[in-house]
Chain A
């Protein structure tokens, strides 16, 4: 799979939202009401969701 192939799946908007959501998870887990030890699990879940959504969108658009 070349870079162009990969790039077509994730839009700039996907990446921006992902970055923002993950930083929010960090804050909630560091300062907020979530447990800090859960943060990696939450980030993994978030990545999976973004990946699944972007991937299916990308596949559809091909």
Chain B
């Protein structure tokens, strides 16, 4: 970005309109503005700061007193500053700010044919985008509050300026933001990524399947064994039934019948118990509600509802009677009478029909629960009775069976004893096998349920796999970007520090009388060292030189980065350098050397200075082809000339009036002395 012109109107010492058109030549890029001390050099830099940011430098005295006094005396109430600047992409902008009564701020885009279009969007943000406020101090320097701080040993902290101007701060923020987005991706990934869970589920499923298969085999085997036992016991029964002893034969028949009854009773009991579970599961709420039904129904008794909640109609009727002051029966109803008070009380106790309806609904629901709970209660009571009955029957049959077996066993028949013993053993085995079959069936049922649930979960987890893969890749992209920026930051920072040191050393070697070098410390401070490498405390002038050369070298590195395609860092700002009295603290020879060097390091340089014959800056710049334009302030004063006042100076062979006295008004004119472009 370069400045094309600056126009001030009624701004401090400038009465009316004054304009500087800066040199915009790439080669002859320097504009010198000569001004005597005490007539407002600083006003010029402050006009730029004010126009861009509505701020003034700390050295600007009386910041509330901006309107030119002569203009104020003549009734003017506003002051204005306008800057024309050209952006890096060669677009011309006009930035204007007004203060006083008519304050305002506007930016216009100027087309090639001079047409002005208001800038869309925020003017303030636009200014910040071309020269951020917090970087302006590096470029617009009034010699007092520059943004380069030095410690008591004259060491200058350079970390912040490097980060700002070269755009590293933005790169650092980019790393932080990409890392934050990566964390978001990771959060999503963690929620969706069930790889471990999936492999564990698959493993579990395989185990369950194996167990299921084994249990099924075991069931088949048990059923096979059971059928063999049943055949065996059938044979024994037949043998015993064929016995010649009639009593034994009868007992055997009785026992077989008792066993069948016992099996039926056990089966019935099992069925009733299953039903009991299902009854409790389905009607638990209704059963428990039965406990509170009576009190609720009493509370919402039909009788009470009828008596205590007159409907809308009743309320309206009473209201109408009160309005007419006459009852249906013809009785007069007047305010204050007993009848009036009775009707008022009746109306106040009326409730709306909606409330009544809701209460009736509540009552109906509770009544429904009551009915339901009564019927369920009956079913549950029946079920309990059935269970009790079957349990008693089983006890009785088991007892009878035991007795019959004992009688058959003690019948004294040798063969019968043997058969009975075998039979008892077989019965025990059958019972055990039946239990094992029951357990296997239950286990198979449970395993089937678990397998189904696992299969469904695995299916869901597998559905998220593509999303997880995408998140993996996105996280990888973030990692790559962070790593790329980090490695470039690291190498560029190192390069910049080396470059700075080399370039500043070259300047010092060429121009400084002493054998000094610069060194950059690990905590990013730059200082002068003597020939033995020891840091020295620089003089005021040396410190100023170091600052000028450092900042302009940094800007020149930023310019080089801007012009390199492979550079990914967007420079924080590359603006013209505007220096107010930069050479005042420097010895003549140093001033000349600095002036010789600065223009080649930046795009545009504006120097506002007091003309000092020992520091022929314009001549030096002219000689090295960098001088574009010279302006000077011409002060007109109502006061009388004093003995030492200078009224004219010589600039490149031209005599120029810089002060005149006994004038009608006080003002400062900005006049072009010479243009070399």
Contacts and interface: CB of A to CB of B under 8 A. Distances in A.
Given A23-B569, A27-B167, A28-B129, 17 more contacts: A6-B472, A6-B473, A6-B476, A15-B481, A16-B566, A18-B477, A19-B174, A22-B177, A23-B170, A24-B570, A26-B174, A27-B170, A30-B173, A32-B125, A32-B126, A33-B122, A47-B178
B155 interface: no
Contacts of B129: 28, 31-33
A10 to B, nearest CB: 6
Output the residue of A6, A25, A26 with the most chain B CB within 10 A: A26
A20 B121 CA distance: 24
B181 interface: yes
6 contacts: A10-B477, A22-B481, A24-B570, A27-B572, A33-B126, A55-B470
B172 to A, nearest CB: 9
A51 B572 contact: no
Interface in A1-56: 1, 6, 9-10, 15-16, 18-20, 22-28, 30-34, 39-40, 43-44, 47, 50-51, 54-55
B265 interface: no
B437 interface: no
Interface string B436-479: 00000000000000000000000000000000011011101110
Interface of A: 1, 6, 9-10, 15-16, 18-20, 22-28, 30-34, 39-40, 43-44, 47, 50-51, 54-55
B589 interface: no
Interface string B79-102: 000000000000000000000000
Contacts of B121: 33
Given A31-B129, A32-B129, A55-B473, A15 B480 contact: yes
B568 A23 contact: yes
Interface in B101-153: 121-122, 125-126, 128-129, 132
A54 to B, nearest CB: 8
B485 interface: yes
A31 B125 CA distance: 7
A9 B473 contact: yes
B484 A47 contact: no
Interface residues of B, number: 35
Interface string B476-506: 1110110011001000000000000000000
A41 to B, nearest CB: 10
A39 B170 CA distance: 12
A47 B477 contact: yes
**Most chain A beta-carbon contacts within 10 A, residue among B125, B180, B572:** B125
Contacts of A23: 167, 170-171, 174, 485, 568-570
The prevalent SS among residues of B at the interface is helix
Nearest to A54: B477
List of 4 A-B pairs having minimum Cβ-Cβ separation, nearest first: A32-B129, A20-B568, A26-B170, A33-B125
A19 B181 contact: no
Contacts of A19: 174, 481, 484-485, 488, 568
A6 B174 CA distance: 22
A55 B167 CA distance: 30
Interface of B: 121-122, 125-126, 128-129, 132, 167, 170-171, 173-174, 177-178, 180-181, 469-470, 472-474, 476-478, 480-481, 484-485, 488, 566, 568-570, 572-573
B560 to A, nearest CB: 17
B170 A30 contact: yes
A18 to B, nearest CB: 5
A20 B474 CA distance: 17
Nearest to A18: B481
A47 B474 contact: yes
A26 B469 contact: no
A62 to B, nearest CB: 14
B478 A26 contact: no
A22 B476 contact: no
A10 B472 CA distance: 13
A25 B121 CA distance: 17
Nearest to A6: B476
Contacts of B573: 31
Contacts of A55: 470, 473
A15 B483 CA distance: 10
A58 B541 CA distance: 60
In the complex, which of the residues A27, A30, A55 has the most CB atoms of chain B within 10 Å of its own CB atom? A27
B484 A15 contact: yes
Contacts of B167: 23, 27
A31 B472 contact: no
A18 B147 CA distance: 32
A55 to B, nearest CB: 7
A31 B572 contact: yes
Contacts of A16: 484, 566, 568
Q: Identify the interface centre among B132, B477, B485: most chain A CB within 10 Å of its CB.
A: B477
A32 B87 CA distance: 14
B571 to A, nearest CB: 9
B476 A10 contact: yes
Contacts of B481: 15, 18-19, 22
Contacts of A9: 473
Contacts of A47: 178, 181, 474, 477-478
Contacts of A39: 177
Nearest to A12: B484
A51 B469 contact: no
Given A19-B484, A22-B481, A23-B174, A43 B473 contact: no
A40 B180 contact: yes
A22 B178 contact: yes
A55 B470 CA distance: 9
A28 B473 CA distance: 27
B349 to A, nearest CB: 60
A1 B477 contact: no
A38 to B, nearest CB: 12
A28 B129 CA distance: 7
